Amino acid sequence: MTPAPELLIKVNHVAEFLPKRYFLGYAQPTVVEGIFVKKLLIISILTLLSACAKGPDAIAPVPLGDAYTGLSCDQANKTLIAERQTLAALEKQQRNARVGDTVGVFLLLLPVSSITGNDVEGKLATSKGKVIALEQRALSC
């Protein structure tokens, strides 16, 4: 059974007025849409990468000023040694968080370490500030 000739004419007539990119139900992106999608993808990737944990060198210390002027020289030196050990451990943890975020963004498009709380940026900044303040105190002995 073949369709009526009037139906074929109507279908062909409608197809002439449809944009070529939607012909036969297949949507083909135009050049403008393709550029928009690429820009959107680049902006999304840059946004995700900016959410990654910072490297330990990029984190600024918290200024503590004269917070340790009341300590004796012996106490300042002991505290300085302990705080330097803490700082080294926090720097290692922050490097691991940065690597975890980088891998997470490339595999899952999520900064995993920052989301799970492995990013120790605040603690690291405070520890750096303590070391600087303790060093200034130790120099005045």
Q: What is the pLDDT of residue 29?
A: 55
Cβ–Cβ < 8 Å for 93, 86: no
What are the distances in angstroms from CA 39 to CA 12, 43, 44? 37, 6, 9
pLDDT at 128: 96
Question: If the chain, 141 residues long, is cut into consecutive pieces of 10 residues, what is the mean pLDDT of each piece?
Answer: 48 48 54 68 68 83 90 92 96 90 77 77 94 92 83
pTM for the structure as a whole: 0.63
Report how far Cα 39 is from the mean position of its chain's Cα atoms: 18
pLDDT of residue 93: 92
